[in-house]
Chain A
Amino acid sequence: MRQSLEELIACHQKSLYTAAFSVCRNVDDANDVVQDTFIQYYTSKKQFRDKEHLKAWLLRVAINRARDISRSFWKRNRISIEECMEEIPFENQEEHDLLETVMKLPEKYREVIHLYYYEELSVKEISEILRITEGSVKMRLSRGRKFLRDVVKEEES
């Protein structure tokens, strides 16, 4: 099955944007990733089993693209995550602190944490999107959580 671009944008833009942001940590790059992902869909002849399969594919494409951008040598005049966070209108300090802490995680933990906490995907689904074993997903989730706890403890002390 295929879906029209209009439907895809309505259903998945936010998911792709937040996934890309969690990897790139940059607003402009995240927007570029989303557009590139929809272009890749539009130019691909790929057929999908169902909506879940399509969403998983879009997330994989977006995360891979976000990795490419964040590792690219040619970087634009990006604003840092710290500067960006000063402008985001968080509703409370907790939101600010949560994002700040998550953004300190190494990239491979951020990806897994995001798919688990934001997309509410299972370990199996995450392993398929990232093409890693379920054991690796569990390990990254566990280490990511431990890292978050350590950061919080460190800041409290």
Chain B
Amino acid sequence: MMDKEQYKKTFDTVASFGMEPLEVRRIMKNSRKHAYMNKIAAAAAVVAVLAGSTGVAYAANVGGIQRTLQLWLHGDQTNAELVINENGEYSAVYQLEDGSTETRSGGGIAIEADGTERPLTEEEIMAQLFMPEVEYKDDGTVWVYYYDQKIDVTDLFEDGVCYVKLVNGDETLYMTIEYDNGYSVSSDKYPEPESFN
């Protein structure tokens, strides 16, 4: 009878035979229609996001951007080192209380209305970095973090779905959370759970 090691070895051979190398650019190109819609929504939140990041030290380097910014982490501000490369991808590295570091990364390209591609702007990336977060704590409670706001949404779930309106200055976001199964936000209306899961 087979064991896990034998099974893994066999399928590793299968992968080494047929798996084709993937290019990030090709994937981005093939996803152009959806990317356009997503990035427009992100860009709408830019002004408020920049207003919220104070004490910024800025330095541009060759082929990308590097800066220190203040990131909201579970409702508290922390310093992070942000690096944006020429493809519009970013990584933000920050230190945790125990001294270890964590990285948030993402980004990519945006597709303009005429179909042309461009890397995400710094402002659009900042908007991504300041999106709300959801945490499921060990005590069973569920929390949403948005800038300095910490909201206990544990009792707001009905049939596994929770809707939360988030306001920060002039910016309003409508957030839909599917319990233990992801969430999505929109500046227009509450996203349908089926749209993101």
Chain A residues with CB under 8 Å of chain B are 1-7, 9, 13-14, 17-18, 21-22, 27, 30-31, 34-35, 38-39, 42-49, 53, 57, 84, 87-91, 94-95, 98-99, 102, 114, 117-118, 120, 145, 148-149, 152
Residue B131 lies at the interface, judged by CB distance under 8 Å to chain A = yes
* CB-based contact B19/A95 at 8 Å: no
* CB-based contact A45/B22 at 8 Å: no
* CB-based contact B133/A47 at 8 Å: yes
* CB-based contact B89/A145 at 8 Å: no
Residue B105 lies at the interface, judged by CB distance under 8 Å to chain A = yes
* CB-based contact A46/B197 at 8 Å: yes
Using Cβ atoms and an 8 Å threshold, which residues of chain A touch B106?
2-4
Using Cβ atoms and an 8 Å threshold, which residues of chain A touch B9?
91, 95
In the bound complex, what is the Cα–Cα distance between A145 and B1 (angstroms)? 9
* CB-based contact A45/B18 at 8 Å: no
* CB-based contact B31/A95 at 8 Å: no
* CB-based contact B7/A89 at 8 Å: no
* CB-based contact A5/B108 at 8 Å: yes
The 4 A-B pairs with the shortest beta carbon distances in the complex, nearest first, are: A43-B34, A27-B18, A117-B7, A2-B106
* CB-based contact A117/B197 at 8 Å: no
Residue B95 lies at the interface, judged by CB distance under 8 Å to chain A = no
* CB-based contact B105/A7 at 8 Å: yes
* CB-based contact B11/A88 at 8 Å: no
Which stretch from B46-54, B148-156, B161-169, B177-185 is at the chain A interface?
Answer: B177-185
- Closest CB of chain A to B2's CB: distance in Å? 6
Residue B15 lies at the interface, judged by CB distance under 8 Å to chain A = yes
* CB-based contact A21/B18 at 8 Å: yes
Nearest A-chain residue to B17, judged by Cβ: A88
Using Cβ atoms and an 8 Å threshold, which residues of chain B touch A49?
134-136
